[in-house]
Amino acid sequence: MHCREIPLTLWVLMFISTSETCTSRLHITAVEGEPFYLKYCSSSPEHEKKKNTIKWYKNESHGPVDLNLSSSPRILLRDYVLEFWPAELIDSGSYSFQMGNDTHDWKLNVIPRSKHSCFTEKLVMSKAVEVKKSLQIACEHSYYQQLANRTVLYKNCEKMENNQNPFLKNAEFKDQGYYTCVFFLHHNGKLFNVTKTFNITVVGDRSNILPVLLGPKINEVKVELGKDIELNCSALLNEKGVIYWNTWRKNGKDPNVHEGEVTRIRISEGKWLAFTILRIENINTRNLNFLYNCTAVNEGGIDTKSFILLRKEDVVDIPGHVFTGGMIAAVVVSVVAVCLVTVGVIYRVDLVLFYRRFMGRDETLTDGKTYDAFVSYLKECQPEHGEEHTFAVETLPRVLEKHFGYKLCIFERDVVPGGAVVDEIHSLIEKSRRLIIVLSQSYMSSEVRYELESGLHEALVERKIKIILIEFTPVGDFGFLPQSLNLLQSHRVLKWKADESLSYNSRFWKNLLYLMPAKAVKPYRDESEVLPVLLQS
């Protein structure tokens, strides 16, 4: 089993604990010249810990080398922690921790210190703040806080005059920039510094987000005279948005038309799903062919949609032979149309993929986003979830990145350590064009829920990201997912079938490519190539 034993509790701890954060990610980046540490995330209960059996190794080209206090004056071992005072470029490589039967590996990449800047671009944490909302920069370090006897905040590498911590004010556009916290530490009589940098972008007022009505702009509804009907108009709004019906005629209102109350459901911070029902009782001919409009509006914009009632069967009175001939023609035409539509529906994915390849379409060039997709999956890594983890961390990147040339963001692999993980996830999702959710019964643990909700918010309210659900193991009941997921179209749910989805050419991957953004992809290799998906022993 490839999957490392990082129990979920530890992941949760990683997010909650503000004292000493452990390092469970495989790929870790550090900066030359700064103190750095690796800390094993211990899972065993206190009485089972065998601290005396702890061993640390570095994997050198000739094999693993035992790390101990005499290995290097810069390296300090403290049970679960390996400290570097400071990290140097030569420290890059694989490290292993061993205690009894527990092991953990990390791949450390030490990058050079920037010569022109007080921070390292690769390690900045991006955060968008709305103008006039509170901008807070807290210089806190989960590990070195106790040791730091001075903390200085720099903006764009210039020391800030007013050195309050946390730095707090109402955001203005001129506050945009790079904020670097420098923690000064003394160790063995030497002065070191650790930096943490936030890339703050000040964005316009989000309350100006346009209201959006869900569904098509014109809705034809087939009705029978004398019956009742309910029209549902639903919209995504901000706090100040309103939704209402316009049903007035020149000469007043139809007495059988009743507007319902507006129901609002909060789906995330400042964003609402609202709906209102128009009830038409005992439908008469006056109600037919009239546009019942529904409007959603706020100070930023307006959206309108219309419902029109049509009679269900408008029986036409025409001579017999004309009628028969007409019927035959109509039947033939509709059969052909149905066939064409069926072919179109069945091969829709292939047609679209063919068209994209043929036209060399690429919709990823100008949107300013970094990743094609953010992959959200169960980070709980117990043996029974191993396949799911392998699928997300290995199979998906192998197919989408290596074979089809997409760029994925996989938290465990691509995210640098330190700081505000939640903000980081949000900003990564903002930089991604799709959110791929690898779904299974055990998916909804607390920290992935955040990814999901953040993604849903982007998808439904800001219309910036599209969601792709991969049902990795049959889930059956989606009842445990947030209600707003039900608004997703059903074709965005793909089912993974381990035995049928192996080939690059299988329905599963084609459907996934179809849902991914069009991108000038690398040419297909051997079409019959079969993926070695089930690698495990």
Ligand X SMILES: *[C@@H]1O[C@H](CO)[C@@H](O)[C@H](O)[C@H]1NC(C)=O
Write down the least CB distance from residue 436 to ligand X, Å. Answer: 22
One of 17, 68, 117, 536 touching ligand X (CB under 6 A): 68
Q: Measure the CA–CA gap between 496 and 505, rounded to whole angstroms.
A: 14
CA 177 to CA 186: how far, in whole Å?
A: 29
Choose which of 199, 207, 382, 441 interacts with ligand X (CB under 6 A): 199
148-155 and 158-159 beta bridge pairing: antiparallel
Q: Tell me which residue of 261, 256, 196, 204 sits closest to 225, measured CA to CA.
A: 256
Which residue, 319 or 479, is less far from ligand X as judged by CB? Answer: 479
What is d(CA 510, CA 233) in angstroms, rounded to the nearest whole number? Answer: 34
Residues sharing a CB contact under 8 Å with residue 221, sequence separation 6 or more, in sequence order? 229, 231, 307, 308, 309, 310
101 binds ligand X (CB under 6 A): yes
171 Cβ neighbours under 8 A, 6+ residues apart: 129, 130, 131, 132, 133, 134, 135, 202
70 binds ligand X (CB under 6 A): yes
Query: Interface with ligand X by CB under 6 A: which range of 96-104, 333-341, 393-401, 505-513?
Result: 96-104
What single string gives the DSSP state of each residue in 377-418?
A: ------GGGHHHHHIIIIIHIIIIIIIT---EEEHHHHPPSS
Minimum Å distance from CB 502 to ligand X?
Answer: 26
Nearest to residue 370, comparing CAs of 282, 430, 315? 430
Does 246 sit near ligand X (CB under 6 A)?
yes
Q: Does 17 bind ligand X (CB under 6 A)?
A: no
Site membership for ligand X, residue 203 (CB under 6 A): no
Q: How far is the CB of 346 from ligand X (least distance, A)?
A: 28
Min dist CB 316 to ligand X, Å, is: 28
Per annotation, catalytic residue among 447, 451, 500, 529: 451
**Stretch of residues binding ligand X (CB under 6 A), selected from 100-108, 308-316, 402-410, 508-516:** 100-108
Q: Is 262 in the site for ligand X (CB under 6 A)?
A: no
Closest to 376 in 3D by CA, of 319, 279, 317, 445: 445
Residue 124 contacts ligand X per CB under 6 A: yes
Per CB under 6 A, does 232 bind ligand X? yes
53 to 65, 99, 101, 103: CA distances (angstroms): 16, 5, 10, 12
Determine if 277 is a binding residue for ligand X (CB under 6 A).
yes
Give the end-to-end CA distance of the chain in Å, rounded to a whole number: 7
**DSSP-based three-state secondary structure for 269:** coil
Q: Does 65 bind ligand X (CB under 6 A)?
A: yes
529 is catalytic: no
For 367, phi and psi rounded to 5 degrees? -85, -5
114 binds ligand X (CB under 6 A): no
Q: Residues touching ligand X: how many (CB under 6 A)?
A: 34
Nearer to ligand X, 227 or 497 (CB): 227
Q: Give the three-class secondary structure for 422.
A: helix
Q: How far apart are CA 445 and CA 389, in angstroms?
A: 14
Our finding on whether 71 is near ligand X (CB under 6 A) is yes
Does 229 interact with ligand X (rule: CB under 6 A)? Answer: no
Which parts of 169-188 interact with ligand X (CB under 6 A)?
A: 182, 186
Site for ligand X in 204-223 (CB under 6 A): 214
Q: Is 293 in the site for ligand X (CB under 6 A)?
A: yes
Which residues of the shown chain bind ligand X in the complex (CB under 6 A)? 33, 59, 61, 65-66, 68, 70-71, 94, 96, 100-101, 105, 121, 124, 126, 149-150, 182, 186, 193, 199, 201, 214, 232, 234, 246-247, 275, 277, 291, 293, 304, 306
User: Which sequence positions are flagged as catalytic?
Assistant: 451
